[in-house]
Amino acid sequence: MRAHSPEYGVLLYDDACGVCRRWIVLWSGTLRRNGIDIAPLQSGWVAERLHLRDADLTEDVRLLLPGGSQIRGADVYRYAMKRIWWTYPLYLISVLPFLNTLFDRAYRSFADHRHRISRLCGLAPPR
């Protein structure tokens, strides 16, 4: 891992997804200013640390917490939104009854189709 220890963890994103790569460029400064570092799921140290096969590794966005545990999927977004003052209202909406299920389903739908969405949007992954 990196030499410094981020206060709230390291967000791990799918570097083979064009939308994810674009998203992380837009949000990296905000995340880092708020104590969340970023790294690609495809980084060598990530697979070694999580002990997962490649297919399982990139199934979801993940966040490695400072204590060594991790969260994944829609909960990563909630975790980040809760720590950024101007996204906190979105966090509150994402945990409301019914809306939390909608938020989870929207995340799952995007995650399952992100490579297709990237191609349709002309956001090719790196070669």
Q: Where are the alpha helices (DSSP H) in 1-127?
A: 18-33, 44-50, 54-57, 74-83, 88-94, 99-120
**pLDDT of 4 over the 60 cut:** no
Residue of 57, 66, 69, 75 whose CA lies nearest to 14: 57
Tokens for 57? Answer: 């590794």
Residue-wise pLDDT for 68-115, tens only, equals 899 999 999 999 999 999 999 999 999 999 999 999 999 999 999 999
pTM to 2 decimal places:
0.90
Residue appearing with tokens 């992954």: 125
Contact 35, 7 (CB under 8 A): yes
CA dihedral 5, 125, 75, 50 (to 10 degrees): -50
